[in-house]
Chain A
Amino acid sequence: MRSLAVSFTRISFPNGRVRRYPILPVVLNLGGVEHRVDMLLDSGSDYSFLPRGIVQGVFGMHPEDLPSGENHQGLGGLFRTGVVEGVIRFGTTRDLFEETIPFFVSRDAAVEPGVAVLGREPFFDRFRVDFRMGYRKRGVEGKFILYRD
């Protein structure tokens, strides 16, 4: 079974607190245009999301022009979405993974995930993810391992 281990990402906040996140660097392809972006693995999210900023400011697509997706309930409230199919590539140069993912994009600027999110459907349907936050070795503070089912 193919697998990929990635270190947790440490993010320090202005108040001095440090948090660790399971963030996966990917090459995102939307409509043949590719950019490298970080994505948060979120097993608590039903679907995968892209921030409006990435879709609009980087790929030049307008959320209002995308086919309508479902309405979603986030912590910030209910928001309408458009949906776009993307391809993500990650792993290593010699052993890469490539997955097609439908991404939802908020049409309500005030309510949206601020970061790109890989949620359960379909990412966690395809990959088993072993979160090992207690792993500490050679300066690494936690890692997560992806196994392709």
Chain B
Amino acid sequence: MHLCYISPLTKTKRDTDLDAMNRDHEWLSRTDLAPFAGKWIAVLEQKILASDVDIEALMKKLEALGLRGKPLLVKVPAHPIVG
């Protein structure tokens, strides 16, 4: 198997603040996400910063916010998931 390991964007600083990410994830699991069904959301410091059905549009919204930290990107399913 040939794998791709390319760098299409500027490399980012190594993100090791996993505790902050875990806090956002825990907060999300207690939050009613029904209003965001089918959308991508970005969460940082226990806040939903932005949402959009299109992730590229979401990334543009985040870019405009000029964030210092990395948000957690989550796709909220619109329907139950069958694996």
- A-side residues, CB < 8 A to B, are 7-14, 16-17, 19, 21, 23, 25, 27, 31-38, 40, 42-45, 51, 53-54, 56-61, 65-67, 69, 75, 82-85, 89-93, 96, 102, 114-117, 139
Contacts and interface: CB of A to CB of B under 8 A. Distances in A.
Interface residues of B, number: 51
A53 B57 CA distance: 11
Contacts of A59: 8-9
Given A33-B12, A40-B81, A54-B55, A61 B6 contact: yes
B10 to A, nearest CB: 7
Interface in B38-83: 40, 54-56, 58-59, 70-83
Given A12-B34, A37-B72, A60-B8, A102 B1 contact: yes
A102 to B, nearest CB: 6
Nearest to B71: A36
B14 A34 contact: yes
Given A51-B75, A53-B55, A83-B4, A33 B10 contact: yes
A40 B83 contact: yes
Contacts of B1: 67, 69, 83, 102
Contact of B77 (A7, A33, A90, A115): A115
Interface of B: 1-19, 21-22, 24-26, 28-30, 32-34, 37, 40, 54-56, 58-59, 70-83
A147 to B, nearest CB: 18
Given A13-B79, A27-B18, A92-B19, A58 B55 contact: yes
Contacts of B24: 25, 36
A34 B18 contact: no
Contacts of B7: 31-33
Contacts of B72: 25, 36-38
Contact of B75 (A10, A42, A82, A114): A114
Contact of B56 (A40, A42, A56, A116): A56
